[in-house]
Structure 1
Amino acid sequence: MAIVYLSLGSNIDREKHLCAAMDALVEAFGDLKMSQVYESEAVGFEGDNFYNLVAAIDTDLSVGELALRLRDIEDANGRVRSGPKFSARTLDIDILTYDDVAGDVDGVALPRDEILKNAFVLLPLSEVAPTDMHPVQGKTYQQLWEEYDQASQKLWAVAFDWP
């Protein structure tokens, strides 16, 4: 079984789509370990604020199989892929890490570079896996968060009810 960290985000019907995504992840992979939900401003475009969180799953699927399964969950939640890369979305689920794998696997770059670039990824990841090591940086996610320019992106925890 591989331990996989996923980033989930939405800025269209945020609660509805994140709840549906978490339900689908539980159905497919069992129990989730999840961070708090954080709200952040859109990055890379003008748009409504996003809700983001990180979830940990265990899976026997390969990276490619997992990517397809996550794409199906996004599609079931109305994800539109024809727009620009940085745009509003109902649901975005990204594979952040897959065990300690580093490199391009089945077309997925691991670990995902957004871990080091975006507070809305790094903070919840440091919450779920504070002592886990980044496969390339050789530092824990807590260390990386402490070194991150936390004033560079606005981010705040929000109350979020998911059964």
Structure 2
Amino acid sequence: MLSRVYISLGSNIEPERYLKSGLSDLSYHFGKLLLSSVYESEAVGFKGCNFLNMVVGVDTDLSIGELVSLFKKIEQDNGRLVGAKKFAPRTLDLDLLLYGDKVTLDPVELPRAEILTNAFVLWPMAELAPDLTHPSVNISYQTLWDEYDKNQQRLWPIPFVWAPALADEASTLNSL
């Protein structure tokens, strides 16, 4: 049975390049992607270049553990160093935010706590799935965003173009 999952993508090292690469990899594995806008924000937790962030929705029959392993592989394939500090610059960060309406701590915390605390996750979630209800607090993502203190983090949408047809061809060529 397919489950709808939501994934956050972020990068602050050649961010446009790595977001596009991450999207191509996700498209290769899942087919059709539901995409939020891309948002630029200041680094959180450390001094560094601004991040580009977005949220992607996909339907999958992979387990939570299989998804987490796949995301780690995609990150590493895109230059992410194994064991790098949490609050540090990165080429690509993929985090599983939601797996259907599952609430769990194993193998990862779901729903991911940063949905409620980080504007760069909540705003794209509200854009992509405004009427979806957060499974722990039972409030829609749009309402959560409307009530979020927007003075906590500076965040703004940016123009971003990703061509999935070309990306699909590139992914196919890269896998040969």
Q: Which interval holds the TM-score relative to the shorter structure?
A: over 0.9
Deviation at 1:28, TM superposition (A): 0.2
Tell me how many residue pairs correspond in the alignment: 162
Please give the per-residue CA displacement for 1:37-82, whole angstroms capped at 9, x wherever unaligned: 0000000000000000000000000000011011111000000133
**Structure 1 consecutive aligned stretches of length 4 or more whose deviation exceeds 4 Å:** none
Q: Structure 2 stretches of 5 or more lacking a match?
A: 164-176
Q: Whose Rg is larger?
A: 2
- In structure 1, what is the Cα distance between the partners aligned to 2:46 and 2:6? 25
Please give the per-residue CA displacement for 1:61-111, whole angstroms capped at 9, x wherever unaligned: 000001101111100000013332100000000000000000113x21000
Partner of 1:46: 47
Q: Structure 1 residue 119 and structure 2 residue 149: aligned?
A: no
Normalised TM-score (structure 2): 0.90
Q: Structure 1 stretches of 5 or more lacking a match?
A: none
- In structure 2, what is the Cα distance between the partners aligned to 1:71 and 1:85? 14
- In structure 2, what is the Cα distance between the partners aligned to 1:51 and 1:4? 20
Partner of 2:155: 155
Instruction: Specify which structure has the higher proportion of strand.
Output: 1
Normalised TM-score (structure 1): 0.98
Instruction: Specify which structure has the higher proportion of helix.
Output: 2
- In structure 1, what is the Cα distance between the partners aligned to 2:20 and 2:86? 23
Deviation at 1:157, TM superposition (A): 0.5
8 Å contact from structure 2 (residues 76, 82) kept in 1: no
Partner of 1:12: 13
Read off the aligned partner of 1:108 and give its amino acid letter: V
Over the matched positions of the two proteins, sequence identity in percent amounts to 51
